[in-house]
Structure 1
Amino acid sequence: MIALVTFLTGLLFGLGLAVSEMTNPAIVLGFLDIFGNWNPSLVFVMGGAVAIGMLGYVIRNRRTKPWLADKWYVPTRRDIDKNLIIGSAMFGIGWGLSGYCPGPGLTALTNNPAEAVYFVGALIVGAGLFHFQNHRKNS
């Protein structure tokens, strides 16, 4: 049941990315170009995501445990450290340069594979380097 719900959630997420055109780098870059030819359409996508996220927290606060798990897994850290700042900056630079963030980058493999394959390859290498560096630091 967990696998089915996970699959359906991922499918819904991917469809949402496609329908909102977040898989189109030109739309995303137009949204990020606030001093040029700004395209504010993704504000509605983000607003919808925030609204659904808030609804999720309302549901969480009314239930003692999730439907398909033994406990809630909610982030507890609230500090802002150098890794958060550096990682956020790297994410933003990559998003601004490519027009892709990880979810839309993966979905773009189906509608723009010639371009997206480079992004996804770099994403995998970057994640691997982080894992290697983090594993080495914790050993």
Structure 2
Amino acid sequence: MIAFITFVTGLIFGLGLAIAEMTNPAVVLAFLDIFGDWNPSLIFVMGGAVAVGMIGYMIRNRRSKPWLADKWYIPTRQDIDKDLLSGAVMFGIGWGLSGYCPGPGLTALVNNPAEGFYFIGAVIAGSTLYHLRRDGSRAGQPNQAP
């Protein structure tokens, strides 16, 4: 059942990206170009995402546990550190340069394979470098959580 719900959720997410044209880097870059030929249409996409998120939190606040799990998995950290800031900066630079964030970037493998393979390759390379750096800095330190 969890696999089926995960599949349906991913399908709805992908359809939403396609309908909103978030899989088209030109539309995303036009949204980010607030001082040029700005296209504000993605504000409605963000508004819809915020509304769905708010409904999700309302459901979460009324239930002691999820329908298909034993407990809620909610992040508890609230600090802002250099890893968070540098990750946010790199994400923003990559998004601004390519017009893709990870979800729509996966669709590029089908819609625009040349760009998609470069983008997904960069994501994999960046993730690998992060994990190598993180694991190297924790070497010799027992019982460290990832």
The two structures share one fold, judged by TM-score above 0.5? yes
Aligned to 2:21: 21
Q: Deviation digits for residues 16-65 of structure 1, max 9, x if unmatched?
A: 11110001000000000000000000011011001100100000000010
How many residues were matched structurally?
139
Distance 2:117 2:70 in 1: 38
- TM-score after normalising by structure 2: 0.92
Aligned to 1:72: 72
Deviation >3 Å, runs of 4+: none
Q: In angstroms, what is the RMSD of aligned CA positions? A: 0.8
Aligned to 2:142: none
Give matches, 1:76-91, under 5 Å: 76-91=76-91
Percent identical pairs in the alignment equals 73
- TM-score after normalising by structure 1: 0.97
Distance 2:131 2:19 in 1: 33
Structure of higher CA gyration radius: 2
List gaps (5 residues or longer) in structure 2.
140-146
Give matches, 1:86-97, under 5 Å: 86-97=86-97
SS at match of 2:96: helix
Distance 2:137 2:14 in 1: 34
Q: Deviation digits for residues 76-103 of structure 1, max 9, x if unmatched?
A: 1111111111111111001000000111
Aligned to 2:98: 98
List gaps (5 residues or longer) in structure 1.
none
**Pairwise CA distance, 1:138:** 2.1
Distance 1:87 1:120 in 2: 17
Distance 1:64 1:115 in 2: 44
AA aligned to 2:131 is H
Aligned to 1:110: 110
Distance 1:64 1:138 in 2: 35
